[in-house]
Amino acid sequence: DTGVSQDPRHKITKRGQNVTFRCDPISEHNRLYWYRQTLGQGPEFLTYFQNEAQLEKSRLLSDRFSAERPKGSFSTLEIQRTEQGDSAMYLCASSVSGWGEKLFFGSGTQLSVL
Amino acid sequence: DAKTTQPTSMDCAEGRAANLPCNHSTISGNEYVYWYRQIHSQGPQYIIHGLKNNETNEMASLIITEDRKSSTLILPHATLRDTAVYYCIVSGLNNAGNMLTFGGGTRLMVKP
Q: Residues near B112 by Cβ (< 8 Å), separated by ≥ 6?
A: B14, B80
Q: How far apart are CA A22 and CA A77, in angstroms?
A: 7
**pLDDT over 70 at B95, yes or no:** no
Closest chain A residue to B93, measured at CA: A99
Q: Please tell me whether residue B25 adopts helix, strand or coil conformation.
A: coil
CA-based nearest residue in chain A for residue B48: A102
The predicted-structure confidence for A77-113, as pLDDT tens digits, reads as follows 999 999 999 999 999 999 998 888 899 999 999 999 9
The stretches of chain A forming alpha helices (DSSP H) are: none
- A69: pLDDT strictly greater than 80: yes
Residues 74 to 93 of B: which have CB under 8 A from any A CB? 85, 87, 93
Whether A21 and A6 have beta carbons less than 8 Å apart is answered as yes
Query: In Å, how far from its chain's centre is CA B101?
Result: 13
For residues B48-67, give the mean pLDDT: 95
Q: Does position A4 have pLDDT exceeding 80, yes or no?
A: yes
The answer, yes or no, to whether residue A13 has pLDDT greater than 90, is: yes
Report whether pLDDT(B36) > 90: yes
Q: Is the confidence at residue B4, as pLDDT, over 80?
A: yes
Taking residues B9-26, report their average pLDDT: 96
By the CB < 8 Å criterion, does B53 face chain A?
A: no
Average pLDDT of chain B, as a whole number:
92
Residue B62 has pLDDT above 80, yes or no: yes
pLDDT value at A49 more than 90: yes
pLDDT at B78: 97
Contact predicate A46/A39, CB 8 Å = no
pLDDT at B85 over 70: yes
- Is B95 in Cβ contact with A42 (below 8 Å)? no
Rounded to whole angstroms, how far apart are CA atoms B23 and B70? 4
